[in-house]
Structure 1
Amino acid sequence: MEEVKSLVSPEQMSTMVDWVSQFGLKLIAAIVVFFIGKWLARRISNLLKRGMQRAETDPTLIGFVGNIAYFGLLTMVVIAAVGQLGVQTTSFIAVLGAAGLAIGLALQGSLANFAAGVLMIIFRPFKAGDYIEAAGTAGSVEEVQLFTTTLKTPDNKIVIIPNAQVTSDTITNYSARDTRRLDLVFGVGYGDDLDKVKRVIWEVLNEESRLLKDPEPVVAVLNLGESSVDFAVRPWVNSADYWGVYFDLQEKMKKRFDQEGISIPFPQRDLHVYQHAS
């Protein structure tokens, strides 16, 4: 100990103690600012989310705005904490901006996903709970995050799609309207009575209580095919009843055709054999 004291003069020891004490206080202040600021950022973000929930805002918008607010406030907290250490925040912000530019160039795909997420929030082509088809995948929208959109498929799989792929392709929103039209096609034989077929189809439709009266269903000959006369059957239903009615009408129509003796032909070809005298 005496050897160490001999190596450091009293003036140097005093300077070191002052420096350590000053830096220690600054470090403690920076840590306090960071943790308190982080807590406040989380608190403000949660308050913002709850306020939007009380206003019955779209859940997709709530999550997106909450994340933006939190990370924006957290960035300000980090800058304030660094300022407590004596670092010039002006130059720090300039360095941060230059680093952000370099990172942005390296992460162009991520920034494209972020921009696409912002556009989806602004224009809102769909909301949480809607059943959509986008980027070759169909499912219910679970959440729109900063960079990705999460879909739940009908077989309960979770599919995470980059936002840029969602906006760069066609988006089909099956839940955008309260009603949908069923497009059904039933083929009957050429030897069947078309008037009878139309009557039977109308009877089956009238027995289905989930069909809407307005708009009125359409029943018409669609096509004279190679093996069948095809009828277009186009009733309207509530969007929530779409698949239930779709499956039930297929089954009911087949059973009723069987009862009425109406044939549903399968593809076939007539083969003519000609014999020639030798």
Structure 2
Amino acid sequence: GIDGTVKEISIFTTKINTFGNQLAIVPNGQLSNNNIINYNAEKTRRDKIDIGIGYGSNIKKAKEILLQICADRDTILVDPKPEVYLGELADSSVNLTLRFWAKNEDFWAAHFYVLEELKYRFDDANIEIPFPQRVIHQ
């Protein structure tokens, strides 16, 4: 449950510098009995962003916008190329899945760029991002 950079491994504990710049000391027993994900082992990472659009929105246009956002950002890799899929026809939205690759050092900046930019561009294209609503009849 802790993300960060391993600073020191001793016989009984491992010290991890968290992303909030806090020092977490984890007993090695917990580490040896749980899964560990090393986000920096490879030079690149794939991001997966799920975004719901309204049933009345243009799916093809939304997919084009998402791919264009990736093309406009030079820190998003072109090989492997970004992909957009229709992931689900949900109760209140059509859920698209965007996948793209970035270098580790560019990953979070690319992730946040895509999230912000998709909101702006979807607004401009009148592509609705639905949110939970409750209708009450009296």
**Distance apart, 1:146 and its partner CA:** 2.5
Matched positions, count: 138
**Residues 67 and 83, structure 2, Cα contact 8 Å, conserved in 1:** no
Q: Which residue identity lines up with residue 159 of structure 1 in the other structure?
A: A
SS of the counterpart of 1:183? strand
User: Which structure 1 residue ranges, 5 or more long, are not aligned?
Assistant: 1-135, 274-278
Q: Which residue of 1 aligns with 2:91?
A: 226
Residue 270 of structure 1: CA displacement?
A: 5.9
Residue 269 of structure 1 and its aligned partner are, at CA, apart by 5.2
Q: State whether structure 2 residue 61 is matched by structure 1 residue 196.
A: yes
Q: Which of residues 118, 128, 137 is equivalent to 1:253?
A: 118
Secondary structure of 2:3's counterpart equals strand
In the alignment, structure 2 segments of 5+ residues that lack a partner are: none
Is 2:55 the partner of 1:159? no
CA distance in 2, matches of 1:200, 1:271: 35
Structure label with greater radius of gyration: 1
- Aligned residue in 1 for 2:78: 213
Q: Percent identity?
A: 38
- Equivalent position SS for 1:166: helix
Measured after TM superposition, the shift of residue 173 of structure 1 is 1.1
Q: Find the aligned partners of 1:197 and 1:165 in 2 and give their Cα distance.
A: 44
Which protein has the bigger strand share? 2
Which one scores higher on RCO, CA 8 angstroms, separation ≥ 6?
Answer: 2
Query: CA 1:272–1:226 in structure 2 vs 1: closer, same or farther (change >3 Å)?
Result: farther
Deviating above 4 A after TM superposition, structure 1's stretches of 4 or more consecutive aligned residues are 269-273
- 1:189 touches 1:228 (CA, 8 Å); kept in 2? yes
Aligned to 2:41: 176
Pair 1:178–1:213, CA change in 2 (3 A): same
Q: Is the Cα contact below 8 Å between 1:226 and 1:267 reproduced in 2?
A: no
TM-score, normalised on structure 1?
Answer: 0.47
Distance across 2 between alignment mates of 1:166 and 1:144? 11
Query: TM-score, normalised to structure 2's length?
Result: 0.92
